[in-house]
Amino acid sequence: MNRIKLFFGVAALAFSLSSCEAFLEEEPISEIPVEEMWQTSRDVKAGVNEIYGLFRTTMRKNYFYWGEFRSDNMSPGSSSAADQQRVIDNLITTSHECAKWTDLYKMINQANLAIKYIPTVDMPSIATRNDYLGQAYAMRALGYFYAIRVWGDVPLFTEPNEKYSTDLYKERTDKNYILRNVILEDLKKAEELMDKTNNKERKRISIYGVWAIMADVYMWLEEYNLADQTIDKMSGDATFMKLETSIENWRKMFVEELNGKPSDDTPENDEYTTKELIFVVHFDMDEVGSSGYSYMYQWFTGSGNRAAVLSDAILEKFSDDDLRKAYTTQYYQNGWELNKFIGGTISTTLNKTCEVAYPIYRYSDMILLQAEARARMGKWEEALDLVKQIRDRAGLTTATSMDFASEDDIINYILDERQIELVGEGRRWFDLLRTKKWKEVMEPINGMNQDGNELFPIHYSHINENPKLTQNPYYGK
């Protein structure tokens, strides 16, 4: 493991000491000579691990900034959490940290390095080499999928930046081109390459992770039949992918399975009891020190510094007999806290030692996404049968097709179920964007009603560094 640790250290040093610091704000430059990297199986493993490490750094705060705080799930918490409150209140500026894409592009560049060099490495197992390559393609796709949902059009890099070049200056590429010609094509390559037998990962991308991202992309493209077909593929192996049927096991999935997992060097072994998690961002302080804890506790507990509390909008959607209500919400010091991942209270002196993984995709997410797809295809009964699986677990009855007068009515019913089931999991804001309901939902809450406001601003530093970039128009010049 010394070589792997050395690689991470050298990579961090290269990023911090580069004379091209301004360019690194847009895209990192690898300064590790090729002859010293991407030579052995261990190099490949280290290089792919670094993709996940950079994704963890990217998502540590942005999981909530990008997917939760702009939605109707959250209200401001403490007045000391000014940065979070600005996002919740729709007062983001070009200086806000969540407007930076630095870490995301570092991850994309690392994926580009892996895609370039993994095919050149002589490894004992071709299947293992292909699986690592498939993970790199899938993570590049996921990186760009986040980028276009957050900023719209973004600069496109499909080759690694390994030395100084004016090619670092790029204009923004149309988001729809990136969606169809980069993200979707990367996922198709990943689907072909993944080891469908030996890769049982949930902390990294497996074939189920590829399908989850792909189904999500198809929903954004409004290709509902393809989304439906993709999610269907997940039901093929119940030993790996299965919905938890009891609310008690649902609870344990968040407060036990996601908490304090060690690093995993054996992808062929599934260390999770639950079969519902598809892909999670894993936090481990033994691996990365003080930046290895998640913000799941720090930002959502204690009146003194909590970033957000659950909003009235979502609290009103919980029925009193919903078994998830007591496990998701907790009233504490004049606010309803997101208790889903906590299972009680925790002191502010301990919350920085917590290692809660962030779920990026769960099977229940996919089931509800498939329900939406089928509803849009006119298959209302089939859609409600899928919703029923989620509501049965919550102790609730499910409406019938006769209860809905229009497609929009049944879609709203499914979206409400998604909002309750997936609260705190970085999905609600993207659902509002994807279904074009962000104005309808958010205008009464924070006045969001102008086209362009749904995008985040591009950080001013990126604009200053790259003369070819233009700001998202809502935020001026």
Point out the residues of the chain with pLDDT beneath 50: 1-31
330 beta partners: 337
SS3 string, the chain, reads CHHHHHHHHHHHHHHHHCCCHHHHCCCCCCCCCHHHCCCCHHHHHHHHHHHHHHHHHHHHHHHHHHHCCCCCCEEECCCCCHHHHHHHCCCCCCCCHHHCCHHHHHHHHHHHHHHHHHHHCCCCCHHHHHHHHHHHHHHHHHHHHHHHHHHCCEECCCCCCCCCCHHHCCCEECHHHHHHHHHHHHHHHHHHHCCCCCCCCCCCCCHHHHHHHHHHHHHHCCCHHHHHHHHHHHHHCCCCCCCCCCHHHHHHHHHHHCECCCCCCCCCCCCCCCCCEEEEECCCHHHHHHHHCCCCCCCCCCCCCCCEEECHHHHCCCCCCCCHHHHHEEECCCCEEECCCCCCCCCCCCHHHCCECEEEEEHHHHHHHHHHHHHHCCCHHHHHHHHHHHHHHCCCCCCCHHHCCCHHHHHHHHHHHHHHHCCCCCCHHHHHHHCCCHHHHHHHHHCCCCCCCCCCCCCHHHHHHCCCCCCCHHHCC
The confidence score (pLDDT) of residue 1 equals 34
The confidence score (pLDDT) of residue 117 equals 97
Largest CA distance in the chain: 66
CATH number attached to the domain at 2-85+93-162+169-269+357-467: 1.25.40.390
Rounded distance between C-alpha atoms, residue 342 and residue 256, angstroms: 9
**Is the Cβ–Cβ distance between 202 and 270 less than 8 Å?**
yes
Q: Which residue's structure tokens are 């792919």?
A: 48
**pLDDT tens profile 158-193:** 999 987 666 788 999 999 999 999 999 999 999 999
**pLDDT tens profile 338-358:** 999 987 666 555 666 688 999
Domain residue extents for the chain: 2-85+93-162+169-269+357-467
- Residue-wise burial string across 29-49, b where 16 or more C-beta atoms lie within 10 A, e elsewhere: bbbbeeeebbeeeebbbbbbb
Q: Which residue's structure tokens are 């570092």?
A: 106
Own/partner contacts of 81-87, CB < 8 Å, gap of 24 or more, are 81/299, 81/305, 81/306, 81/307, 81/308, 84/299, 84/307, 84/308, 85/307
The confidence score (pLDDT) of residue 352 equals 62
Rounded distance between C-alpha atoms, residue 416 and residue 341, angstroms: 20
The confidence score (pLDDT) of residue 345 equals 65
Closest CA to 417 of 457, 389, 451: 389
